[in-house]
Structure 1
Protein backbone atom coordinates (compact mmCIF):
# COMPACT_ATOMS: atom_id res chain seq x y z
CA UNK A 1 0.00 0.00 0.00
CA UNK A 2 2.05 2.99 -1.16
CA UNK A 3 0.91 6.35 0.25
CA UNK A 4 1.90 9.44 -1.77
CA UNK A 5 1.44 12.86 -0.14
CA UNK A 6 1.02 15.87 -2.43
CA UNK A 7 1.84 19.12 -0.64
CA UNK A 8 3.28 22.62 -1.12
CA UNK A 9 4.58 25.48 1.03
CA UNK A 10 2.19 27.87 -0.77
CA UNK A 11 -1.26 27.87 -2.30
CA UNK A 12 -2.25 28.47 -5.89
CA UNK A 13 0.37 26.17 -7.39
CA UNK A 14 -2.02 23.61 -8.90
CA UNK A 15 -1.41 21.10 -6.12
CA UNK A 16 -4.91 19.61 -6.06
CA UNK A 17 -5.01 19.34 -9.85
CA UNK A 18 -1.65 17.58 -9.73
CA UNK A 19 -2.87 15.15 -7.07
CA UNK A 20 -5.99 14.32 -9.08
CA UNK A 21 -4.18 13.81 -12.38
CA UNK A 22 -1.47 11.76 -10.67
CA UNK A 23 -4.21 9.50 -9.32
CA UNK A 24 -5.73 9.20 -12.79
CA UNK A 25 -2.33 8.47 -14.37
CA UNK A 26 -1.55 5.70 -11.87
CA UNK A 27 -5.00 4.21 -12.40
CA UNK A 28 -4.50 4.26 -16.17
CA UNK A 29 -1.51 1.98 -15.68
CA UNK A 30 -3.73 -0.57 -13.95
CA UNK A 31 -3.26 0.36 -10.29
CA UNK A 32 -6.24 0.72 -7.98
CA UNK A 33 -6.03 4.27 -6.63
CA UNK A 34 -7.70 6.13 -3.78
CA UNK A 35 -7.48 9.93 -3.68
CA UNK A 36 -7.88 11.40 -0.18
CA UNK A 37 -8.58 15.07 0.50
CA UNK A 38 -7.21 16.61 3.71
CA UNK A 39 -7.93 20.18 2.57
CA UNK A 40 -10.95 21.98 4.05
CA UNK A 41 -11.64 23.51 0.61
CA UNK A 42 -12.98 20.05 -0.33
CA UNK A 43 -12.06 20.57 -3.99
CA UNK A 44 -10.35 17.28 -4.85
CA UNK A 45 -13.70 15.50 -5.35
CA UNK A 46 -14.61 17.88 -8.19
CA UNK A 47 -11.76 16.48 -10.30
CA UNK A 48 -13.46 13.08 -10.19
CA UNK A 49 -16.93 14.13 -11.26
CA UNK A 50 -18.47 14.28 -7.77
CA UNK A 51 -21.26 16.91 -7.95
CA UNK A 52 -20.72 20.23 -6.23
CA UNK A 53 -23.91 19.62 -4.28
CA UNK A 54 -22.57 16.35 -2.80
CA UNK A 55 -21.15 17.37 0.57
CA UNK A 56 -20.37 13.90 1.90
CA UNK A 57 -16.96 13.29 3.42
CA UNK A 58 -15.03 11.66 6.23
CA UNK A 59 -14.15 14.63 8.46
CA UNK A 60 -17.57 15.41 9.96
CA UNK A 61 -18.12 11.77 10.91
CA UNK A 62 -14.52 10.90 11.85
CA UNK A 63 -14.95 11.35 15.60
CA UNK A 64 -17.96 9.00 15.72
CA UNK A 65 -16.85 6.50 13.05
CA UNK A 66 -13.20 5.43 13.35
CA UNK A 67 -13.27 3.62 9.97
CA UNK A 68 -12.98 6.28 7.27
CA UNK A 69 -13.34 3.72 4.48
CA UNK A 70 -17.11 3.97 4.95
CA UNK A 71 -16.99 7.45 3.36
CA UNK A 72 -15.21 6.37 0.15
CA UNK A 73 -17.00 7.28 -3.11
CA UNK A 74 -16.60 5.49 -6.42
CA UNK A 75 -15.78 7.52 -9.52
CA UNK A 76 -15.49 4.85 -12.19
CA UNK A 77 -12.66 2.64 -13.33
CA UNK A 78 -9.87 2.09 -10.84
CA UNK A 79 -10.15 5.45 -9.08
CA UNK A 80 -11.92 6.15 -5.79
CA UNK A 81 -12.11 9.32 -3.70
CA UNK A 82 -12.39 10.05 0.01
CA UNK A 83 -13.63 13.66 0.20
CA UNK A 84 -13.00 16.01 3.09
CA UNK A 85 -16.69 16.90 3.00
CA UNK A 86 -18.65 20.03 3.81
CA UNK A 87 -17.99 20.81 7.47
CA UNK A 88 -18.68 23.52 10.00
CA UNK A 89 -15.85 25.47 11.57
CA UNK A 90 -16.46 23.56 14.79
CA UNK A 91 -16.08 20.23 12.98
CA UNK A 92 -12.88 21.37 11.28
CA UNK A 93 -11.33 22.48 14.57
CA UNK A 94 -12.36 19.25 16.30
CA UNK A 95 -10.83 17.17 13.50
CA UNK A 96 -7.53 19.07 13.64
CA UNK A 97 -7.47 18.81 17.43
CA UNK A 98 -7.77 15.03 17.12
CA UNK A 99 -4.94 14.98 14.58
CA UNK A 100 -2.74 17.01 16.91
CA UNK A 101 -3.55 15.37 20.23
CA UNK A 102 -4.13 11.70 19.34
CA UNK A 103 -1.22 9.98 17.58
CA UNK A 104 -3.46 7.01 16.73
CA UNK A 105 -6.35 9.01 15.29
CA UNK A 106 -5.17 9.13 11.67
CA UNK A 107 -3.70 5.57 11.51
CA UNK A 108 -6.94 4.26 13.04
CA UNK A 109 -9.09 6.10 10.51
CA UNK A 110 -7.02 4.86 7.56
CA UNK A 111 -6.29 1.34 8.83
CA UNK A 112 -8.78 -0.47 6.56
CA UNK A 113 -7.57 1.45 3.53
CA UNK A 114 -3.88 1.10 4.37
CA UNK A 115 -4.30 -2.67 4.49
CA UNK A 116 -6.31 -3.02 1.30
CA UNK A 117 -4.27 -5.23 -1.09
CA UNK A 118 -2.76 -3.43 -4.07
CA UNK A 119 -4.28 -0.04 -3.29
CA UNK A 120 -2.26 3.09 -4.07
CA UNK A 121 -3.24 6.16 -2.02
CA UNK A 122 -2.68 9.73 -3.22
CA UNK A 123 -3.39 12.29 -0.49
CA UNK A 124 -3.84 16.03 -1.07
CA UNK A 125 -2.99 18.46 1.75
CA UNK A 126 -3.62 22.14 2.46
CA UNK A 127 -0.75 24.50 1.55
CA UNK A 128 1.90 25.21 4.16
CA UNK A 129 2.36 23.53 7.54
CA UNK A 130 -0.80 21.82 8.79
CA UNK A 131 -1.81 19.16 11.34
CA UNK A 132 -2.77 16.54 8.76
CA UNK A 133 0.58 16.72 6.96
CA UNK A 134 2.40 16.30 10.25
CA UNK A 135 0.16 13.45 11.41
CA UNK A 136 0.63 11.43 8.22
CA UNK A 137 4.42 11.75 8.16
CA UNK A 138 5.13 8.32 9.69
CA UNK A 139 2.74 6.55 7.32
CA UNK A 140 3.73 8.21 4.04
CA UNK A 141 5.99 6.46 1.54
CA UNK A 142 6.77 9.53 -0.58
CA UNK A 143 6.08 13.27 -0.55
CA UNK A 144 5.60 15.19 -3.77
CA UNK A 145 6.12 18.94 -3.33
CA UNK A 146 4.45 21.06 -6.01
CA UNK A 147 6.00 24.43 -6.87
CA UNK A 148 5.40 26.98 -9.61
CA UNK A 149 8.00 28.13 -12.12
CA UNK A 150 8.12 31.58 -10.49
CA UNK A 151 10.29 33.56 -8.09
CA UNK A 152 7.88 33.09 -5.17
CA UNK A 153 8.45 29.34 -5.27
CA UNK A 154 12.22 29.83 -5.36
CA UNK A 155 11.98 31.96 -2.23
CA UNK A 156 10.07 29.17 -0.46
CA UNK A 157 12.54 26.38 -1.15
CA UNK A 158 14.12 26.89 2.33
CA UNK A 159 10.76 25.95 3.88
CA UNK A 160 11.33 22.46 2.54
CA UNK A 161 15.11 22.30 2.81
CA UNK A 162 15.10 23.52 6.43
CA UNK A 163 12.24 21.24 7.53
CA UNK A 164 9.78 24.05 8.22
CA UNK A 165 6.74 22.18 6.90
CA UNK A 166 6.42 19.69 9.77
CA UNK A 167 9.44 20.47 11.94
CA UNK A 168 11.47 17.55 10.58
CA UNK A 169 12.23 15.84 7.27
CA UNK A 170 9.06 15.35 5.24
CA UNK A 171 9.71 11.70 4.50
CA UNK A 172 12.08 9.05 5.84
CA UNK A 173 11.08 6.28 3.44
CA UNK A 174 11.35 6.95 -0.31
CA UNK A 175 11.96 10.63 0.42
CA UNK A 176 10.49 13.86 -0.94
CA UNK A 177 10.62 15.08 -4.52
CA UNK A 178 9.55 18.19 -6.38
CA UNK A 179 7.31 18.90 -9.34
CA UNK A 180 7.60 22.24 -11.10
CA UNK A 181 4.21 23.27 -12.44
CA UNK A 182 3.15 25.65 -15.21
CA UNK A 183 6.57 26.20 -16.73
CA UNK A 184 6.06 28.65 -19.60
CA UNK A 185 8.75 28.69 -22.29
CA UNK A 186 7.33 31.96 -23.66
CA UNK A 187 8.29 33.91 -20.53
CA UNK A 188 11.89 34.71 -19.64
CA UNK A 189 11.37 34.52 -15.87
CA UNK A 190 9.65 31.15 -16.15
CA UNK A 191 12.45 29.76 -18.30
CA UNK A 192 15.07 31.10 -15.89
CA UNK A 193 13.31 29.69 -12.81
CA UNK A 194 12.87 26.31 -14.51
CA UNK A 195 16.58 26.17 -15.37
CA UNK A 196 17.50 27.23 -11.81
CA UNK A 197 15.23 24.59 -10.24
CA UNK A 198 16.60 21.88 -12.51
CA UNK A 199 20.14 22.74 -11.45
CA UNK A 200 19.35 23.31 -7.77
CA UNK A 201 17.16 20.23 -7.25
CA UNK A 202 18.87 17.85 -9.68
CA UNK A 203 17.40 14.35 -9.29
CA UNK A 204 15.00 15.60 -6.59
CA UNK A 205 13.04 17.30 -9.37
CA UNK A 206 10.74 14.54 -10.53
CA UNK A 207 9.33 16.46 -13.45
CA UNK A 208 8.30 19.74 -15.07
CA UNK A 209 4.71 20.32 -16.20
CA UNK A 210 4.50 22.87 -18.99
CA UNK A 211 1.80 25.52 -18.96
CA UNK A 212 -1.18 24.13 -20.87
CA UNK A 213 -4.65 25.69 -21.19
CA UNK A 214 -6.08 22.20 -21.54
CA UNK A 215 -5.59 21.70 -17.79
CA UNK A 216 -7.99 24.51 -16.83
CA UNK A 217 -10.49 23.33 -19.42
CA UNK A 218 -10.28 19.77 -18.13
CA UNK A 219 -10.87 21.03 -14.58
CA UNK A 220 -13.92 23.00 -15.70
CA UNK A 221 -15.40 19.87 -17.26
CA UNK A 222 -14.49 17.72 -14.21
CA UNK A 223 -12.32 15.46 -16.31
CA UNK A 224 -8.75 14.26 -16.07
CA UNK A 225 -6.28 15.78 -18.50
CA UNK A 226 -5.95 12.32 -20.04
CA UNK A 227 -9.65 12.11 -20.91
CA UNK A 228 -9.98 15.73 -21.99
CA UNK A 229 -6.79 16.12 -24.01
CA UNK A 230 -4.69 12.94 -24.05
CA UNK A 231 -2.13 14.32 -26.53
CA UNK A 232 -1.55 17.60 -24.65
CA UNK A 233 1.81 18.63 -23.25
CA UNK A 234 0.49 18.47 -19.68
CA UNK A 235 -0.82 14.94 -20.17
CA UNK A 236 2.60 13.83 -21.39
CA UNK A 237 4.39 15.57 -18.50
CA UNK A 238 2.12 14.17 -15.79
CA UNK A 239 2.24 10.68 -17.27
CA UNK A 240 6.03 10.80 -17.03
CA UNK A 241 5.87 11.97 -13.40
CA UNK A 242 3.46 9.13 -12.58
CA UNK A 243 5.84 6.60 -14.09
CA UNK A 244 8.69 7.97 -11.99
CA UNK A 245 6.56 7.82 -8.84
CA UNK A 246 5.63 4.22 -9.66
CA UNK A 247 9.28 3.35 -10.19
CA UNK A 248 10.37 4.93 -6.89
CA UNK A 249 7.69 3.03 -4.98
CA UNK A 250 7.92 -0.19 -6.98
CA UNK A 251 4.20 0.02 -7.75
CA UNK A 252 3.10 -3.05 -9.65
CA UNK A 253 0.52 -2.80 -12.40
CA UNK A 254 -2.64 -4.54 -11.30
CA UNK A 255 -5.93 -5.60 -12.81
CA UNK A 256 -9.55 -5.83 -11.75
CA UNK A 257 -12.12 -3.71 -9.99
CA UNK A 258 -11.77 -2.44 -6.44
CA UNK A 259 -14.44 -3.96 -4.23
CA UNK A 260 -14.97 -5.36 -0.77
CA UNK A 261 -14.82 -2.79 2.02
CA UNK A 262 -14.91 0.25 -0.29
CA UNK A 263 -18.39 1.49 -0.91
CA UNK A 264 -20.08 2.64 -4.12
CA UNK A 265 -21.77 6.02 -4.08
Structure 2
Protein backbone atom coordinates (compact mmCIF):
# COMPACT_ATOMS: atom_id res chain seq x y z
CA UNK A 1 0.00 0.00 0.00
CA UNK A 2 2.04 3.00 -1.19
CA UNK A 3 0.92 6.31 0.33
CA UNK A 4 1.88 9.58 -1.38
CA UNK A 5 1.34 12.97 0.28
CA UNK A 6 1.03 16.13 -1.81
CA UNK A 7 1.72 19.27 0.19
CA UNK A 8 3.06 22.80 -0.09
CA UNK A 9 4.26 25.58 2.24
CA UNK A 10 1.89 28.03 0.50
CA UNK A 11 -1.54 28.10 -1.07
CA UNK A 12 -2.51 28.82 -4.65
CA UNK A 13 0.15 26.60 -6.21
CA UNK A 14 -2.26 24.18 -7.93
CA UNK A 15 -1.67 21.41 -5.42
CA UNK A 16 -5.20 19.95 -5.47
CA UNK A 17 -5.34 19.96 -9.27
CA UNK A 18 -1.99 18.18 -9.44
CA UNK A 19 -3.11 15.64 -6.83
CA UNK A 20 -6.18 14.80 -8.89
CA UNK A 21 -4.35 14.55 -12.19
CA UNK A 22 -1.59 12.42 -10.68
CA UNK A 23 -4.31 10.10 -9.39
CA UNK A 24 -5.72 9.89 -12.92
CA UNK A 25 -2.25 9.25 -14.36
CA UNK A 26 -1.52 6.44 -11.89
CA UNK A 27 -4.91 4.90 -12.62
CA UNK A 28 -4.20 5.08 -16.35
CA UNK A 29 -1.11 3.03 -15.63
CA UNK A 30 -3.26 0.28 -14.13
CA UNK A 31 -3.15 1.11 -10.43
CA UNK A 32 -6.19 1.27 -8.18
CA UNK A 33 -6.00 4.73 -6.64
CA UNK A 34 -7.65 6.27 -3.59
CA UNK A 35 -7.53 10.07 -3.41
CA UNK A 36 -7.94 11.43 0.13
CA UNK A 37 -8.75 15.05 0.91
CA UNK A 38 -7.35 16.50 4.16
CA UNK A 39 -8.21 20.08 3.21
CA UNK A 40 -11.34 21.61 4.73
CA UNK A 41 -12.07 23.36 1.41
CA UNK A 42 -13.33 19.94 0.31
CA UNK A 43 -12.41 20.67 -3.31
CA UNK A 44 -10.61 17.47 -4.35
CA UNK A 45 -13.87 15.63 -4.93
CA UNK A 46 -14.88 18.10 -7.65
CA UNK A 47 -12.01 16.90 -9.83
CA UNK A 48 -13.58 13.43 -9.93
CA UNK A 49 -17.07 14.44 -10.98
CA UNK A 50 -18.65 14.42 -7.52
CA UNK A 51 -21.53 16.94 -7.61
CA UNK A 52 -20.88 20.18 -5.76
CA UNK A 53 -24.06 19.59 -3.71
CA UNK A 54 -22.72 16.25 -2.44
CA UNK A 55 -21.13 17.24 0.88
CA UNK A 56 -20.55 13.77 2.28
CA UNK A 57 -17.18 13.11 3.90
CA UNK A 58 -15.32 11.29 6.62
CA UNK A 59 -14.37 14.14 8.98
CA UNK A 60 -17.85 14.79 10.41
CA UNK A 61 -18.19 11.08 11.23
CA UNK A 62 -14.61 10.46 12.37
CA UNK A 63 -15.37 11.04 16.08
CA UNK A 64 -17.60 7.96 16.27
CA UNK A 65 -16.62 6.10 13.10
CA UNK A 66 -13.25 4.39 13.41
CA UNK A 67 -13.24 3.04 9.85
CA UNK A 68 -13.25 5.96 7.42
CA UNK A 69 -13.49 3.66 4.40
CA UNK A 70 -17.27 3.72 4.80
CA UNK A 71 -17.17 7.28 3.44
CA UNK A 72 -15.30 6.39 0.23
CA UNK A 73 -17.06 7.39 -2.98
CA UNK A 74 -16.70 5.43 -6.21
CA UNK A 75 -15.96 7.65 -9.19
CA UNK A 76 -15.59 5.03 -11.91
CA UNK A 77 -12.64 3.16 -13.31
CA UNK A 78 -9.76 2.56 -10.94
CA UNK A 79 -10.23 5.73 -8.89
CA UNK A 80 -11.95 6.20 -5.53
CA UNK A 81 -12.17 9.37 -3.44
CA UNK A 82 -12.43 9.96 0.31
CA UNK A 83 -13.74 13.53 0.63
CA UNK A 84 -13.23 15.78 3.63
CA UNK A 85 -16.92 16.70 3.65
CA UNK A 86 -18.89 19.68 4.88
CA UNK A 87 -18.18 20.18 8.59
CA UNK A 88 -18.84 22.64 11.36
CA UNK A 89 -16.02 24.54 13.01
CA UNK A 90 -16.46 22.39 16.10
CA UNK A 91 -16.11 19.22 14.04
CA UNK A 92 -13.01 20.54 12.30
CA UNK A 93 -11.34 21.49 15.57
CA UNK A 94 -12.23 18.13 17.11
CA UNK A 95 -10.76 16.30 14.12
CA UNK A 96 -7.52 18.27 14.26
CA UNK A 97 -7.28 17.80 18.04
CA UNK A 98 -7.51 14.03 17.55
CA UNK A 99 -4.88 14.13 14.82
CA UNK A 100 -2.47 15.97 17.09
CA UNK A 101 -3.12 14.22 20.39
CA UNK A 102 -4.10 10.64 19.54
CA UNK A 103 -1.11 8.90 17.90
CA UNK A 104 -3.33 6.05 16.65
CA UNK A 105 -6.23 8.16 15.35
CA UNK A 106 -5.06 8.37 11.75
CA UNK A 107 -3.98 4.75 11.50
CA UNK A 108 -7.32 3.55 12.93
CA UNK A 109 -9.30 5.63 10.48
CA UNK A 110 -7.33 4.41 7.50
CA UNK A 111 -6.73 0.85 8.68
CA UNK A 112 -8.92 -0.77 6.02
CA UNK A 113 -7.40 1.09 3.08
CA UNK A 114 -3.86 0.79 4.43
CA UNK A 115 -4.23 -2.98 4.28
CA UNK A 116 -5.95 -3.12 0.89
CA UNK A 117 -3.59 -4.98 -1.47
CA UNK A 118 -2.41 -3.11 -4.54
CA UNK A 119 -4.07 0.19 -3.64
CA UNK A 120 -2.13 3.41 -4.19
CA UNK A 121 -3.19 6.25 -1.88
CA UNK A 122 -2.55 9.86 -2.83
CA UNK A 123 -3.48 12.47 -0.20
CA UNK A 124 -4.00 16.20 -0.63
CA UNK A 125 -3.22 18.54 2.29
CA UNK A 126 -3.97 22.18 3.07
CA UNK A 127 -1.01 24.56 2.68
CA UNK A 128 1.44 24.89 5.51
CA UNK A 129 2.04 22.79 8.62
CA UNK A 130 -1.43 21.30 9.08
CA UNK A 131 -2.30 18.82 11.81
CA UNK A 132 -3.01 16.19 9.16
CA UNK A 133 0.39 16.65 7.50
CA UNK A 134 2.16 16.27 10.84
CA UNK A 135 0.18 13.13 11.70
CA UNK A 136 0.67 11.57 8.27
CA UNK A 137 4.46 11.86 8.26
CA UNK A 138 4.77 8.56 10.13
CA UNK A 139 2.64 6.65 7.62
CA UNK A 140 3.61 8.20 4.28
CA UNK A 141 6.00 6.55 1.87
CA UNK A 142 6.66 9.64 -0.22
CA UNK A 143 6.02 13.39 -0.04
CA UNK A 144 5.66 15.62 -3.09
CA UNK A 145 6.14 19.31 -2.31
CA UNK A 146 4.46 21.54 -4.89
CA UNK A 147 6.08 24.89 -5.63
CA UNK A 148 5.37 27.53 -8.27
CA UNK A 149 7.92 28.87 -10.72
CA UNK A 150 7.79 32.28 -9.02
CA UNK A 151 9.72 34.33 -6.48
CA UNK A 152 7.25 33.63 -3.65
CA UNK A 153 7.91 29.90 -3.84
CA UNK A 154 11.63 30.53 -4.30
CA UNK A 155 11.72 32.46 -1.02
CA UNK A 156 10.26 29.42 0.78
CA UNK A 157 12.72 26.93 -0.66
CA UNK A 158 15.25 27.19 2.24
CA UNK A 159 12.44 26.48 4.70
CA UNK A 160 11.59 23.27 2.85
CA UNK A 161 15.20 22.21 2.32
CA UNK A 162 15.92 22.62 6.05
CA UNK A 163 12.81 20.66 7.13
CA UNK A 164 11.22 23.62 8.90
CA UNK A 165 7.68 23.09 7.58
CA UNK A 166 6.63 20.71 10.38
CA UNK A 167 9.80 20.97 12.48
CA UNK A 168 11.18 17.60 11.36
CA UNK A 169 11.76 15.73 8.09
CA UNK A 170 8.55 15.22 6.14
CA UNK A 171 9.40 11.65 5.27
CA UNK A 172 11.70 8.97 6.66
CA UNK A 173 10.98 6.34 3.99
CA UNK A 174 11.41 7.32 0.35
CA UNK A 175 11.93 10.98 1.17
CA UNK A 176 10.44 14.19 -0.16
CA UNK A 177 10.66 15.52 -3.69
CA UNK A 178 9.79 18.84 -5.23
CA UNK A 179 7.34 19.41 -8.06
CA UNK A 180 7.44 22.71 -9.93
CA UNK A 181 4.09 23.88 -11.28
CA UNK A 182 3.16 26.40 -13.99
CA UNK A 183 6.62 26.92 -15.43
CA UNK A 184 6.27 29.50 -18.23
CA UNK A 185 9.14 30.01 -20.65
CA UNK A 186 7.48 33.16 -21.97
CA UNK A 187 8.08 35.00 -18.69
CA UNK A 188 11.60 35.94 -17.63
CA UNK A 189 10.99 35.45 -13.90
CA UNK A 190 9.39 32.05 -14.39
CA UNK A 191 12.15 30.95 -16.73
CA UNK A 192 14.87 32.12 -14.30
CA UNK A 193 13.22 30.50 -11.26
CA UNK A 194 12.78 27.25 -13.17
CA UNK A 195 16.45 27.20 -14.16
CA UNK A 196 17.53 27.97 -10.59
CA UNK A 197 15.29 25.25 -9.12
CA UNK A 198 16.58 22.69 -11.60
CA UNK A 199 20.18 23.51 -10.74
CA UNK A 200 19.61 23.79 -6.98
CA UNK A 201 17.43 20.69 -6.49
CA UNK A 202 18.89 18.29 -9.03
CA UNK A 203 17.38 14.83 -8.55
CA UNK A 204 15.13 16.17 -5.78
CA UNK A 205 13.07 17.89 -8.47
CA UNK A 206 10.80 15.06 -9.60
CA UNK A 207 9.41 17.10 -12.47
CA UNK A 208 7.73 20.27 -13.60
CA UNK A 209 4.43 21.11 -15.24
CA UNK A 210 4.35 23.82 -17.87
CA UNK A 211 1.69 26.51 -17.71
CA UNK A 212 -1.19 25.26 -19.82
CA UNK A 213 -4.65 26.83 -20.20
CA UNK A 214 -6.06 23.35 -20.84
CA UNK A 215 -5.71 22.62 -17.12
CA UNK A 216 -8.06 25.47 -16.19
CA UNK A 217 -10.58 24.40 -18.82
CA UNK A 218 -10.39 20.77 -17.69
CA UNK A 219 -11.07 21.85 -14.10
CA UNK A 220 -14.10 23.85 -15.18
CA UNK A 221 -15.56 20.77 -16.84
CA UNK A 222 -14.66 18.47 -13.89
CA UNK A 223 -12.49 16.32 -16.13
CA UNK A 224 -8.91 15.18 -15.95
CA UNK A 225 -6.37 16.78 -18.23
CA UNK A 226 -6.04 13.39 -19.94
CA UNK A 227 -9.71 13.29 -20.86
CA UNK A 228 -9.92 16.96 -21.80
CA UNK A 229 -6.66 17.43 -23.72
CA UNK A 230 -4.54 14.26 -23.81
CA UNK A 231 -1.93 15.79 -26.15
CA UNK A 232 -1.42 18.95 -24.09
CA UNK A 233 1.91 19.90 -22.52
CA UNK A 234 0.46 19.51 -19.02
CA UNK A 235 -0.80 16.00 -19.76
CA UNK A 236 2.67 15.00 -20.98
CA UNK A 237 4.36 16.54 -17.93
CA UNK A 238 2.02 14.91 -15.40
CA UNK A 239 2.27 11.53 -17.12
CA UNK A 240 6.05 11.73 -16.83
CA UNK A 241 5.89 12.67 -13.14
CA UNK A 242 3.50 9.78 -12.48
CA UNK A 243 5.98 7.39 -14.09
CA UNK A 244 8.74 8.69 -11.85
CA UNK A 245 6.52 8.32 -8.78
CA UNK A 246 5.70 4.75 -9.85
CA UNK A 247 9.41 4.03 -10.18
CA UNK A 248 10.14 5.34 -6.69
CA UNK A 249 7.29 3.28 -5.23
CA UNK A 250 8.17 0.16 -7.24
CA UNK A 251 4.62 -0.13 -8.54
CA UNK A 252 4.40 -3.08 -10.92
CA UNK A 253 1.49 -3.37 -13.32
CA UNK A 254 0.78 -6.40 -15.46
CA UNK A 255 -2.00 -8.63 -16.78
CA UNK A 256 -4.66 -6.36 -15.31
CA UNK A 257 -3.43 -6.92 -11.78
CA UNK A 258 -1.64 -4.38 -9.66
CA UNK A 259 1.00 -5.17 -7.09
CA UNK A 260 2.98 -2.65 -5.11
CA UNK A 261 6.13 -3.26 -3.13
CA UNK A 262 7.51 -0.47 -0.98
CA UNK A 263 11.23 -0.04 -1.45
CA UNK A 264 13.07 1.21 1.63
CA UNK A 265 16.04 3.51 1.45
Deviation of 1:254 (Å) = 5.4
Mark the CA change 1:145 to 1:255 in structure 2 (over 3 Å): closer, same or farther: farther
Deviation of 1:239 (Å) = 0.2
Deviation of 1:163 (Å) = 1.5
Mark the CA change 1:17 to 1:99 in structure 2 (over 3 Å): closer, same or farther: same
Q: Any gaps of 5 or more consecutive residues in structure 1? A: 259-265
2:85, 2:257 → 1: CA distance? 25
Contact 1:77 1:257 in 2 (8 A): no
TM-score by length of 1: 0.96
Mark the CA change 1:159 to 1:42 in structure 2 (over 3 Å): closer, same or farther: same
1:226, 1:29 → 2: CA distance? 12
Contact 1:129 1:164 in 2 (8 A): no
2:261 aligns with: none
1:141 aligns with: 141
Q: List structure 1 runs of 4+ shifted beyond 6 angstroms.
A: none
Deviation of 1:246 (Å) = 0.2
Is 1:42 matched with 2:67? no
Contact 1:214 1:225 in 2 (8 A): yes
1:263 aligns with: none
1:207 aligns with: 207
Deviation of 1:204 (Å) = 0.2
After superposition, the C-alpha distances for 1:139-193 in whole angstroms (9 at most, x for unaligned) are 0000000000000000001221121221100111010001100000100000000
Is 1:12 matched with 2:49? no
Is 1:90 matched with 2:90? yes
Secondary structure, counterpart of 1:56 in structure 2: coil
TM-score by length of 2: 0.96
1:262 aligns with: none
Is 1:219 matched with 2:219? yes
Q: Any gaps of 5 or more consecutive residues in structure 2? A: 259-265
